[in-house]
C-alpha cells in the first residue's frame, strides 16, 4: 500500500531493506525531521564540517577559474564532496572518525565521478536541445552574452538574445526534474558499490515513488539556506553542511545502508 512503512523485518539493519518491497510498498518521508537530525549530526563535528566546506569552496573556485573545465567542475569534485556523506554516516553510526575521512570518497573516485557526470551531460543536452544555443551557453557553459539592448525593440527579441524564454523555462524545469530523480545515485555508488548506471536507474525508481515529497524537501533546504545567506553569508557555514547531512539522513531513512535486490 502507498505511504506504508516497510515491515519491521525489512528494517533490520543487518539484513537491509529490499528494493522490490521498497518500490512496491512505498515509503514515508519526514522532511523537517531530516533537517533536524542533519543539524544534530553537524553539531557533533562543527569544525570538521566547516573546515571541509571551506576546502571545497577553495577547490571549486580554482576549477571555476579554468575555462571549459568549470563545466564539469561539480562532477570533478563529486568524489571529494562525497566525504560529507561518509563522515555523516560515521557520526550517525557512532564510528570513530577524523578529518582525513572527509577525503575517503576519492578512494572510489571514478565511479563517483561517472555517476555525477552522466546527469551533467544529460542536463547539458536538454539545455542545448530544448533551451537553445543562447541558453546553453549562458546556463551550462557560463558564457555571458554581450547584448546591445538598444538594438532590441521587442520582448521576443530580448528573450532570443538572452536565451530567457519559454524554451529556457522548459529546459530548466526538465533539468530540475533530472536533478531530483538522481539525488540518491551517489549514495548507491558510495554505500552499495553499485555501478553508476544501475545507481542512476535505482535512484530514479525510488525518487519517482514520492517525487513531489522530494521536491518539497529540496524546497525546504533551499529556504533553509536562504536564511543562512541572509545572515551575512556566515550562516551558510551552518546551513550548507546541515543540508548535506539532511540529505544523507533522508537516504538512510528511506533506503538504508545495506540494500537488498
What are the backbone dihedrals phi and psi of residue 20, each rounded to the nearest 5 degrees, phi first? -60, -40
Count other Cβ atoms within 10 Å, centred on residue 118: 17
Q: Cβ contacts of residue 142 below 8 Å, gap of 6+?
A: 64, 70, 71
Q: Walk along the chain (261 residues) in steps of 10 and give the mean pLDDT of each run.
A: 37 67 92 98 98 96 82 92 98 97 97 96 91 78 62 49 69 93 97 96 96 97 94 90 98 91 69
Count other Cβ atoms within 10 Å, centred on residue 103: 16
* Residue boundaries of the structural domains of the chain: 14-254
| pLDDT (0 to 100) of residue 254 | 96
C-alpha to C-alpha distance for 233 and 238, rounded to whole angstroms: 10
Alpha-helix runs per DSSP H in the chain: 19-25, 31-43, 46-64, 73-92, 109-126, 133-139, 155-162, 166-181, 185-192, 196-209, 211-230, 236-254
18 beta partners: 260
| pLDDT (0 to 100) of residue 70 | 76
| pLDDT (0 to 100) of residue 58 | 96
Length of the chain: 261
Write out the three cell numbers for 162: 538572452
| pLDDT (0 to 100) of residue 166 | 77
Count other Cβ atoms within 10 Å, centred on residue 215: 14
Beta-carbon-side half-sphere exposure of residue 135 (alpha carbons within 13 Å) = 24
pTM: 0.86
| pLDDT (0 to 100) of residue 136 | 79
Amino acid at each position: 500500500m502507498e505511504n506504508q512503512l516497510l515491515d519491521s523485518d525489512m528494517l533490520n539493519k543487518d539484513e537491509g531493506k529490499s528494493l522490490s518491497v521498497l518500490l512496491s510498498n512505498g515509503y514515508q518521508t519526514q522532511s523537517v525531521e531530516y533537517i533536524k537530525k542533519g543539524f544534530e549530526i553537524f553539531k557533533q563535528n562543527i569544525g570538521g564540517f566547516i573546515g571541509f566546506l571551506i576546502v571545497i569552496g577553495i577547490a571549486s573556485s580554482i576549477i571555476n577559474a579554468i575555462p571549459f573545465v568549470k563545466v564539469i567542475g561539480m562532477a570533478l569534485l563529486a568524489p571529494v564532496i562525497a566525504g560529507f556523506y561518509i563522515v555523516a554516516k560515521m557520526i550517525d553510526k557512532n564510528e570513530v572518525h577524523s578529518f582525513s575521512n572527509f577525503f575517503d570518497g576519492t578512494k572510489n573516485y571514478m565511479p563517483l565521478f561517472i555517476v555525477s557526470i552522466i546527469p551533467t551531460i544529460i542536463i547539458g543536452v536538454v539545455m542545448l536541445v530544448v533551451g537553445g544555443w543562447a541558453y546553453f551557453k549562458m546556463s551550462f557553459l557560463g558564457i555571458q552574452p554581450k547584448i546591445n539592448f538598444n538594438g532590441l525593440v521587442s520582448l521576443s527579441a530580448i528573450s532570443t538574445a538572452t536565451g530567457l524564454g519559454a524554451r529556457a523555462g522548459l529546459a530548466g524545469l526538465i533539468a530540475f526534474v533530472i536533478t531530483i530523480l538522481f539525488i540518491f545515485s551517489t549514495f548507491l555508488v558510495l554505500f552499495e558499490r553499485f555501478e553508476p548506471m544501475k545507481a542512476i536507474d535505482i535512484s530514479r525508481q525510488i525518487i519517482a515513488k514520492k517525487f513531489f515529497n522530494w521536491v518539497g524537501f529540496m524546497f525546504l533546504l533551499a529556504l533553509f539556506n536562504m536564511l543562512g545567506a541572509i545572515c551575512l553569508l556566515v550562516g551558510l557555514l551552518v546551513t550548507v553542511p546541515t543540508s548535506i547531512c539532511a540529505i544523507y539522513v533522508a537516504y538512510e531513512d528511506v533506503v538504508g545502508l545495506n540494500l537488498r535486490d
